[in-house]
Structures are given as C-alpha cells and as structure tokens.
Amino acid sequence: MRPVTLFKQPFYLVPKIIVGLTVFALFTGTALAADKTVLRISSPAVKGDWHAEMLYIFKERLEASAPGEFDVQIFLGGTLFKQGAEPTQMRRGNLDMALISMQDIAKRIRPYSIFTSGYLIRNPEHQKAVYYGPIGDEVFSKVSDVMEVEMLSVAYLGTRQLNLRTKRNVSLPADLKGVKLRMPGSKVWQLLGRALGASPTPLAFNEVYLALKTGTIDGQDNPLPTTQKAKFYEVTEQIVLTSHLVDGVFLTMANKTWKQLTQPQQLMIKTAARAAAEFNNQGRIEDEKRLVEFFKSEGLLVTTPDIDAFRKHVQKFYLESGLSKRWPEGMLARINAAAR
C-alpha cells in the first residue's frame, strides 16, 4: 500500500506553485508600478478643505482617463514640504506638483505683486476671466520660463475675511491698529496686513491654530471655508467680513516632470486639473454662502465693517507702495477690464 506517495507530489508542488506565483506577481507588480509615472503633490491644505479635496478629484480623473499610467500621491498639512517651499522643490526635481499662489510667484517675479493686491479681483468669475484669458496666457508662460513650473488651473481659494481671537469693534482700518495679525510668511502678504491697518506677523499656516490658542497672535485672515476646516473658529471669537482678497491657488507641475510626458498625457493632466478646480470652486462658493450661519451657531460674533473705507484704504496703500512702481504697464486696467 503506497497511498501516501500518491499525495506526496501534489503536496510538495502546491507550496512551490504558490511561492512561484507570488514571486511572479511581485515581479510583474513591481514592473507595473515602475511603469507608472508617480506624481507627488504637496500642500499645506488641511484634509476636507476644498482645495485639498480637489487634489483627490484630480487623482481620480487622471487615473481614470489614463488607466495604469499615473500614480498620484497627495501629501497634505505641509507634511512633505512646508508652505512656500514648493516652487523651489519643484525646480530642484524633488516635487512634481503643488498648489501655489500668486504671492509665491511674486517672490520670484516682482511685477506680479499686482495680482496680490487687496480689493482687485472682484469675484470667482472675474478671477477666471483674468487667468483663463490673454492675461493668464502671458502670466503662465512667464512663470514657466522663470520658475520652471507649468500652471495647470486656477482654483478659487475663497474671499479672505478677518478672524479675531477676542471681540473688537472693527469698522475702519484704524480700528485694527496694534492688532497682531498673522499673515503668511512673505513680503506681499505682510503688505496686505499693513494695508488693512493691522500689525502683520508672519507665520506658517500649519502653526496658526496653536498661535491663536496660546495668544501669540490676535487674529488671522482666511476664507470662511478654511477658517472652518482648519478649526480656527474653535479658538477665536469674531469674524469681520472685510472681504479684502478674492484669493486663488494654482495647480502646478514642475517643468522637469511636465516635459517627460507625452502630449496626450499633458492634455489629460490639464483636463483633470481644470475639472478639479471646478469641483473646488463649486463647493467653496456654496460653503461661503452658508458659513456665516455656521459660525454664528458656534457662538462667534460676525460683523460687517465699512467695506468702502477698507477698500479705499487698501487700494491707496498699494498704489502708494513701492511695489506698484514695478507693476507691468497697463496691467491694472487690463485686470479691471477682464471679462468672459
């Protein structure tokens, strides 16, 4: 009787086959992953904020339109690179994509500080008219030449409003005298803080919550959806609806990465980037309509100052600042006249 031997061979073979298949799958899997173009995106945005969520829409759309070609990896909260470092990291070849701002761009291309002025862009539609028209064509090509970054789409970041740690009567810019207002860390941002009448202090976005909580700053400015998603309302008492900057961020790709792609791939990336921005815009605009009620329900005081007085003060401040002397000839009129 040799029944056992009957099963010997299959039992030996099964583990071998499994090991063999696993090794094969691992190798082919690795090969497939290696074939994909990895696109790493960095942003200080917090999870749940619209411009963070739009990155997942970008990933979804791109990976669906080019199955197996791309592996989009998203890093939020400034965990990969800190706020403001993205353009340099893209130029150095350490990062493929980022959301960058005109304030980032104005650090390298000084005349573009014009796009960072308060009370200039009027609303999200005007913003699109500016950047998806002849002005945008000119700006995008200059940014590509100077900063080695391809501008893919513009996303409405929202309209920036003041958010104060303790209640204060704010009707005019003079009422902000001495208020330690956190602004992001670059010269043009600091100028905006001064133009509003406050004492600006630079701080990275991801440190703002703690600074508000501990009282190292008196306030911050951001669009309402960000003030909600970053939970700044938990550590502040008032929102002042100054509406001082219709803000935007640009989804961008390092030229180093861009140039390695085929034309059809570039087209798919632009299409996905535009769709992602549109998703952001719709969500954010809706949120801005409903959030005043939300903040009130959370116990915050929401006030509206004399916006005309703020507008006049801020515009005069920019025109009289040294920055405006470098603005491109005729650009102010072109921006004001931009329409779709």
Residues that bind ligand KDO (CB under 6 A): 43-45, 49, 51, 83, 99, 101, 103, 184, 205, 222, 226, 249
- DSSP letter assigned to residue 128: H
Residues 6+ apart with CB under 8 A from 7: none
Least distance to ligand KDO from the beta carbon of 249, Å?
6
Which phi-psi region, left, alpha or beta, contains residue 215 (left: φ > 0; alpha: ψ -120 to 50)? left
Residue closer to ligand KDO, measured from CB, 101 or 161:
101
Q: Where do runs of H (alpha helix) occur along the chain?
A: 3-35, 50-65, 86-91, 102-108, 124-131, 134-147, 187-195, 208-214, 224-229, 255-258, 263-297, 307-320, 331-337
Residue closer to ligand KDO, measured from CB, 250 or 327:
250
Least distance to ligand KDO from the beta carbon of 45, Å?
4
Q: Which two tokens stand for residue 2?
A: 């040799």
Least distance to ligand KDO from the beta carbon of 178, Å?
21
Residue closer to ligand KDO, measured from CB, 104 or 150:
104
Nearest to 164 by CA among 227, 226, 240, 225: 240
DSSP labels for 72-89? EEEE-TTSSS-TT-HHHH
Residue closer to ligand KDO, measured from CB, 49 or 53:
49
Residue closer to ligand KDO, measured from CB, 230 or 261:
230
Residue closer to ligand KDO, measured from CB, 43 or 117:
43
Residue closer to ligand KDO, measured from CB, 226 or 238:
226
Least distance to ligand KDO from the beta carbon of 187, Å?
14
Residue closer to ligand KDO, measured from CB, 268 or 277:
277
Least distance to ligand KDO from the beta carbon of 222, Å?
5
Least distance to ligand KDO from the beta carbon of 95, Å?
15
d(CA 155, CA 127): 9
Q: How far is CA 198 from each of CA 47, 118, 177, 195, rounded to the nearest angstrom? A: 30, 14, 5, 7
Residue closer to ligand KDO, measured from CB, 89 or 268:
89
Least distance to ligand KDO from the beta carbon of 226, Å?
5
- Burial-class residue 91 by CB neighbours within 10 Å (0-12, 13-18, 19+): middle
Least distance to ligand KDO from the beta carbon of 269, Å?
20
Q: How far is CA 250 from each of CA 102, 190, 243, 264, rounded to the nearest angstrom? A: 8, 21, 20, 21
- Position 42, amino acid: S
Least distance to ligand KDO from the beta carbon of 182, Å?
8
d(CA 124, CA 284): 10
Three-state DSSP string of 174-234: HHHCCCEEEECCCHHHHHHHHHCCCEEEECCHHHHHHHHHHCCCCEEEEEHHHHHHCCHHH
> Alpha-carbon Rg of the chain, whole angstroms?
25
